[in-house]
Structure 1
Amino acid sequence: MSYIILVVGFILLIKGADLFVDGSASIAKKLGIPSVIVGLTIVSLGTSAPELAVSLISSLKGSNEIAIGNVVGSNLFNALIVLGITAIITPLLIDKITIKKDFLVNNLITILLFFLTFDSIIFSKSNLISRVDGIILLVLCIAYMVYLVVSAKKGNIKEDNNEVININIMQKVLFIIIGILGIIFGGKLVVDSATTIAYSLGMSEKLVGLTIVAMGTSLPELVTSVVAVLKGENEIALGNVLGSNTFNILLILGASAVITPIPVSQTLAVDFIVLIGVTLLLGFLIFFNKEKIKKLTRTEGLLLVAIYVAYTIYIVIRN
């Protein structure tokens, strides 16, 4: 029964996030906000909504290992599986100049999180993402969003208003309300059922967060990226992953830590190092060549998927 509840929870999370993004983006258009700004903010936050709901509810319930495992696991899933599968479907053409700054921010934020979490190595205290750490992450999240909006506005974007006239505001408000309810209720079902499954199978909450919950909450990113590459929107696929991974750390862990400081197991240091290594590997694959447009090939996509499979086998054995 717990497995059925888990699936129902994921469905509610994903559909809720979809309705939330649709409603919010439509109202933003009606208010004259350029779609590119909507994409950089509302859509990126919307695809991270399942992770946010699960992590916040986990923090409120004291299941902090699910919260931290969910974020680390989701970011690994996004970087390896989402990008890997999209590259296997069709090689990704990446404009290095366009994504350079976002890629750099994502790398720096990932490394910062490692040092905030495992500063016990220097200061001889327990591994903890404290409320102060959470506030730092949230402040950086706000700064990053402001930077995205300002950068987009500098592009002198002209918006096509042909579709705006037909937007039904009340319908979109209803979408937002239903979406939020779906995210909250679905998140609760996922946390409760995942915890029950963990205990019944002798799995740790940390392992469930790194695997089952991380994979389930990352489905919006996977679907979005696959649809994007099938439509020829290659940059959306990589931008979706980078944006989601950055918001996962800044917003989700930031908010979770402010609610309840998150103690982190020493063994998770390995998972953090793997995450940093994967982000550096992506940097090597994308930037260490002379071409202005990098093609992420099917072979490289297979490599990313293989790394994720090997990592998953390792953490299951470690449990």
Structure 2
Amino acid sequence: MIVILFLLMAGFVVLIKGADIFVDGAAHLARTLDVSPMIIGLTVVAFGTSVPELFVNIAASVGGDTDIALGNVMGSNIANGLLVLGISALIRPLQIFRKTVWQAIPFSLLAAIMLWVLANDVFVDGSFFSILSRSDGWVLLGFFTVFMAYSAAVIAPVDGLPPVDPVPPEKAAAVALKMAFGFCGLLFGSRWIVDSAVALADRLGAPRVVVGLTVVALGTSLPELATSVAAARRGAAEIAVGNVVGSNIFNILFVLGISAVIRPLPVNPAANMDLAMLTATSVLLVVFLFAGQVRVMGRREGGLALFLYVLYTGYLVYPLFF
């Protein structure tokens, strides 16, 4: 058990550090190639905090561990909406002024509803079992393309993009080496995480989807947590909320889309509870930020979000120990 936990922790460290190096290299490459700041903002910035989820899901799908892949995205989005924003709101109430941030929030709810529909073949069209098929994956990727086009056409020109740190030019060889090093970290880290998560589930006698919903999801949400907490401490509520909203949209439409295209993801009927929680998290975010004239998620709402996350996690792990 100690070895499994050590490999799991090492996997998270290597994965997150690899993601940081890879994204930094991608930003350098974009600057070197004179790519416009708009494109960098819409791709590199949006891509950055969701790289861990993407590579863990690719590793899980390629290895046939589809429960880990599905659980990781659902659990990560729930953790983002309840844990990450809950902690951020406790640090400093999150008041949203920029129109473009709350314009994107309904897309997060739409993505969650779309996932529920695609993952419920039994209820939607009377199939004998539910599965996120390859065609479902392409549908998700198609909607991701629509969202990116909307962001470029409507959101970016009106109110700008998330801030991109200045990136000095580097030699192409140095940039390529940096990206290769980061990519290797992503590959090895994601593989260690998936293998360790499977071993941990088998050792505890737990369903793999539960490990994906909790341990793996919490680990891959660390970049979002670090980014949003830092933004909240600086009073940058738009960055804290926008980071979570963008990541949740990216996780469902792009990460799950890629995962389903690689290997169809069977959906256990029991996952409807988790899908309902995912949708409820998105609904709560809309209610918190749209109820009343002042769009603010205060400490009371942050405390409620944290309480709900603890309650949900307890619901998942209680059967394992009692």
Tell me which interval the TM-score lies in, with the shorter structure as reference length: over 0.9
Q: Secondary structure at the match of 1:22?
A: helix
Q: Which residue of 2 aligns with 1:310?
A: 311
- Label 1:208 to 1:153 Cα distance change in 2 as closer, same or farther (>3 A): closer
Q: Are the counterparts in 2 of residues 54 and 190 from structure 1 also a CA contact under 8 Å?
A: yes
Following superposition, the deviation at residue 142 of structure 1 comes to: 2.0
What is the aligned counterpart of 2:202 among 184, 199, 203?
199
Q: Which residue of 2 aligns with 1:17?
A: 19
Q: Partner amino acid for 2:195?
A: D
Following superposition, the deviation at residue 163 of structure 1 comes to: 5.2
Q: Partner amino acid for 2:217?
A: A
For residues 108-123 of structure 1, the aligned pairs below 5 Å read 108-123=110-125
For residues 152-163 of structure 1, the aligned pairs below 5 Å read 154-155=157-158
Separation in structure 2 between the aligned mates of residue 112 and residue 156 of structure 1, nearest angstrom: 27
Structure 1 unpaired stretches of 5+: none
> How does the TM-score come out when normalised to structure 2?
0.92
Q: Are the counterparts in 2 of residues 80 and 308 from structure 1 also a CA contact under 8 Å?
A: yes
Instruction: Please provide the CA RMSD for this pair.
Output: 2.2
Q: Partner amino acid for 1:188?
A: R
2:193 paired with 1:190:
yes
Following superposition, the deviation at residue 173 of structure 1 comes to: 2.7
Separation in structure 1 between the aligned mates of residue 237 and residue 102 of structure 2, nearest angstrom: 15
- Label 1:284 to 1:162 Cα distance change in 2 as closer, same or farther (>3 A): closer
Q: Which residue of 2 aligns with 1:132?
A: 135
1:231-289 per-residue CA deviation (whole Å, 9 max, x = no partner) reads 33221111110111011011111111111111011111011111111111111111011
What is the aligned counterpart of 1:238 among 227, 238, 241?
241
Q: Which residue of 1 aligns with 2:90?
A: 88
Following superposition, the deviation at residue 37 of structure 1 comes to: 4.1
Following superposition, the deviation at residue 134 of structure 1 comes to: 0.5
Q: Are the counterparts in 2 of residues 37 and 148 from structure 1 also a CA contact under 8 Å?
A: no
> How does the TM-score come out when normalised to structure 1?
0.92
Q: Are the counterparts in 1 of residues 28 and 169 from structure 2 also a CA contact under 8 Å?
A: no
Q: Partner amino acid for 1:115?
A: V
What is the aligned counterpart of 1:264 among 260, 263, 267?
267
Instruction: Tell me how many residue pairs correspond in the alignment.
Output: 316
Q: Are the counterparts in 2 of residues 34 and 157 from structure 1 also a CA contact under 8 Å?
A: no
1:177-218 per-residue CA deviation (whole Å, 9 max, x = no partner) reads 111111111000000011001101111101100000000011
Structure 2 unpaired stretches of 5+: none
Q: Which residue of 1 aligns with 2:292?
A: 289
For residues 142-153 of structure 1, the aligned pairs below 5 Å read 142-151=145-154
Q: Are the counterparts in 2 of residues 16 and 180 from structure 1 also a CA contact under 8 Å?
A: yes
What is the aligned counterpart of 2:73 among 64, 71, 74?
71
